[in-house]
Structure 1
């Protein structure tokens, strides 16, 4: 698999088949959401725990619009529609992945919440 395929495997399986998604993460993967005021999450088991505890209850739609790869860097953008406590939320993202030796070693996810969320 090339770096784009590795990233797509993670993306397409996250919240659907997490074992497949996490199979392409390095054990010590570093995941960050800049601007959210939280520390980076280090380690795939810590990421799993974080998403299990704080992630969406339901993912209604997850779309990748573009994916570009240069060397060990993969950039993807898209949108996600989730449900939490009965409230539907739409977010848009641009993710920057670093891939080494067939595993994702870091992910910075730049997320913007859709203004329409305030109206719901």
Structure 2
């Protein structure tokens, strides 16, 4: 498994007064450093070590999110009242409920 295929992020940690490197597929791992580059390098080394340890122990290594197959479908449960409101909005806009909800999700700030 190539650890450089994982999803990495660097952000500022006000609590620590340093940058923190994170890996989405390994939420329990992080690396603090004085610069964003050092935080990224540190967490990447940490993940590579964790992957090597897991492989040596015969454990399942997480699949990188970028390498997973996504169908574009998922189910979500909502209260009946919200379902009704969304169905009404879709009918008024003359679009399917799926198209309405997709558009709302796409316009959500990331």
Q: TM-score range by the shorter chain?
A: under 0.3
Specify which structure has the higher proportion of helix: 2
Larger Cα-atom Rg: 2
Q: Which has the higher contact order (CA 8 A, sep 6+)?
A: 1
